Structure formats: C-alpha cells, structure tokens
Amino acid sequence: MSDSGDTPANIDETSVEKTAALAQLRIAPEYLPGVVANLQGIAAVAAIVNATPLAKDDELGPIWKP
C-alpha cells in the first residue's frame, strides 16, 4: 500500500503481507483476511472523501466532530 492511489481492488493478502513485513509487523494467518477487509473498507471510504470537490474558498475547520 502506497501513495499510488490504492483502491479496495488492489489491496490483497500479498500486498498486506509485504507492507507488514516492511513495517516489521507480524499478522497471524487467521487475522489476515480481516485485516485485508478492513483496509479495503478504509480505502473505499478514503476514495469517497478524496473525490469530494472543494471550492477555492473552502477552509479547514479548527475542530472536527463526527
């Protein structure tokens, strides 16, 4: 997973295992499918947020409240 615009479709077990290895993290095999599913969900939400157009006069809010 990188800054290259990952989408849920290109996040798979192999990419998660390689990224975890780079970060020196061990993911137990039984948790790997769940980790992949969660990262795919996060990527899907991020794609929606990143696709939201902003006007030139839009500013950052001082406090974010969900």
User: What would the pLDDT profile of 8-23 be if each residue is shown by its tens digit?
Assistant: 778 999 999 999 999 9
pLDDT, position 6: 62
What average pLDDT does range 21-47 have in this prediction?
96
What average pLDDT does range 21-50 have in this prediction?
95
* pLDDT greater than 90 at residue 60: no
pLDDT, position 2: 44
- Per DSSP, 24 falls in state T
Average pLDDT score over the chain: 87
Element (H, E) at 38: helix 32-51
Helix (H, G, I), strand (E, B) or coil at 26: coil
What is the domain partition of the chain in residue ranges?
A: 28-54
Confidence of residue 1 (pLDDT cuts 50, 70, 90): very low
Encoded tokens for 17: 């295992």
